[in-house]
Amino acid sequence: MNAEVTPWDVKGKVDYNKLMKEFGIQPFSELLENWNVDVEPMHLMRRGIIFGHRDYDRILEAMNGKKWAVMSGFMPSGLPHLGHKMTMDEIIWHQKAGGFAHVALADMEAHVVRGLSWEKLKEIGKLYLKSLIALGLNPDRAFLYYQSEFGKLKDLAFELSAEVNWSELKAIYGFTPETPLAKMFVTSVQAADILHPQLKDPKPVVVPVGADQDPHIRLTRDLASRVSIFAFEEIDSGVRVRSRRGSEYLRMLEKELSFEYRSYAEHIDVFGERRDIEEFIRKFEVEIGGFAFIPPSSTYHKFITGLTGGKMSSSKPESYISLFDEPSVAEKKVKRAITGGRGSAEEQRRLGGEPERCAVFELFAIHLIERDEDLEEIRRKCVEGEMLCGNCKKLASQLIGEFLKDFQEKVNSVELR
């Protein structure tokens, strides 16, 4: 079955290499080969769970003493589960690496797509906020909000919507004439979520997401360019600058430039370090009332496999472990999970297991095993037939029970402002 991947549903087996090739996502492994910042890559990066990126090199550069931010969000349509925890861990890691965190509770999207009441969304949303803080997010260096309560976000979404037409939404999202207008408008709200950290203060922003959210990233990157006054093209020894609002803006810029430049009717060639030139011009654009958005960067993680196969999803309770499951309930779910084991214990001892097909091994890799050496030892024992599925599940269920007990104690101590 060919995979169907949209921001609201994932069906079939996902070919990540095909996704990367089709949509121009770059392999994250290339960044790891030339990692040049003091902070160590997080475990999801090292283990290939985060498999791709767009412009993450801009974030790595900003980590060396510049201002930057991390932004992502959650649709509070059900209890937060381990799939959500993966994104939460990414947000928290980026915050600890120096980025200011912005977290959206996508209640407008959930109201339209899932039909939940505003009261229910508020109730569920609080669990996501408490979970983030319990997992290690510093609320003093974060902006946490509901879409429906953030006026500036909705104002920005309205402005962005003026740059998008029906044909484009149809091509990106597969919308049909039966698609409600509210669902279409929510795409502009999502773009505003991603871009609002740059209002009045352009800076690099990274958005950690699953591969299903890439349509939002592609649209937002385009919108970031469309609504800004100045556009940039790299040239030898500098940047070619154009204006989307007429040559009078180029003449205004020309009077402020402190770089060497050559002026033409429809563009200006500015010479020097590209990043310095773009930063100067973006500051100037903000001063004259423009947005000057930097196209957002993004990272893409693989979908965590549901315990019954397929994607772990809030709409399929049997597929996931909620962060609010009783530890004993979660332990039983792990013991019933699909594994990469063979048809019999004898066959597994002879041929070994297949950890790359095992939901339990994914739990180890993504959530339960901190040290790479310990994970590799579990993998070795599996593929060599030394550890059978029963013992593996026993270890995983013990670790998930301990994690949930500790996590839920922390959640109960969190007080929201």
Q: Which of 3-17, 89-103, 231-245, 393-407 has the lowest mean pLDDT?
A: 3-17
pLDDT higher at 2 or 118: 118
CA 82 to CA 61: how far, in whole Å?
Answer: 30
Residues 84, 119: contact at Cβ < 8 Å?
no
Mean pLDDT, the chain, integer? 92
CA 265 to CA 269: how far, in whole Å?
Answer: 11
Q: Are residues 163 and 256 in the same domain?
A: no
Give 57-117 as a 3 state SS string.
HHHHHHCCCCCCEEEEEECCCCCCEHHHHHHHHHHHHHHHCCCEEEEEECHHHHHHHCCCC
pLDDT of residue 357: 85
CATH number, domain of 342, equals 1.10.240.10
Q: Are residues 365 and 280 in the same domain?
A: no
Q: Are residues 51 and 177 in the same domain?
A: yes
CATH number, domain of 52, equals 3.40.50.620
Domain boundary among 246, 267, 301: 301
Q: What is the mean pLDDT of residues 212-238?
A: 95
pLDDT in tens, 53-96: 999 999 999 999 999 999 999 999 999 999 999 999 999 999 99
* Structural domain contains residue 313: no
Q: Is the pLDDT of residue 4 over 60?
A: no
Residue 167, classified by CB atoms within 10 Å of its CB into exposed (0-12), middle (13-18) or buried (19+), is: exposed
Q: Is the pLDDT of residue 115 over 90?
A: yes
pLDDT in tens, 315-347: 666 778 999 999 999 999 999 888 866 777 778
Q: Is the pLDDT of residue 162 over 90?
A: yes
* Structural domain contains residue 309: no
* Structural domain contains residue 158: yes
Q: Which of 11-25, 190-204, 266-280, 372-386 has the lowest mean pLDDT?
A: 11-25
pLDDT of residue 315: 61
Structural domain total, the chain:
3
Q: Are residues 110 and 10 in the same domain?
A: yes
The residues, ordered by sequence, that sit 6+ positions from 15 with a Cβ below 8 Å of its Cβ are: 3
* Structural domain contains residue 314: no
CA 410 to CA 127: how far, in whole Å?
Answer: 12
pLDDT of residue 9: 56
* Structural domain contains residue 171: yes
* Structural domain contains residue 110: yes
Residues 312, 303: contact at Cβ < 8 Å?
yes
CA 210 to CA 304: how far, in whole Å?
Answer: 9
Percent of the chain with pLDDT over 70: 94
pLDDT of residue 310: 66
Residue 282's domain spans which residues?
230-287
pLDDT higher at 260 or 3: 260
Q: What is the mean pLDDT of residues 256-270?
A: 97
Percent of the chain with pLDDT over 90: 79
Q: Are residues 15 and 156 in the same domain?
A: yes
pLDDT of residue 85: 96
* Residue 363 pLDDT grade (very low, low, confident, very high; cuts 50, 70, 90): very high
Q: Are residues 61 and 158 in the same domain?
A: yes
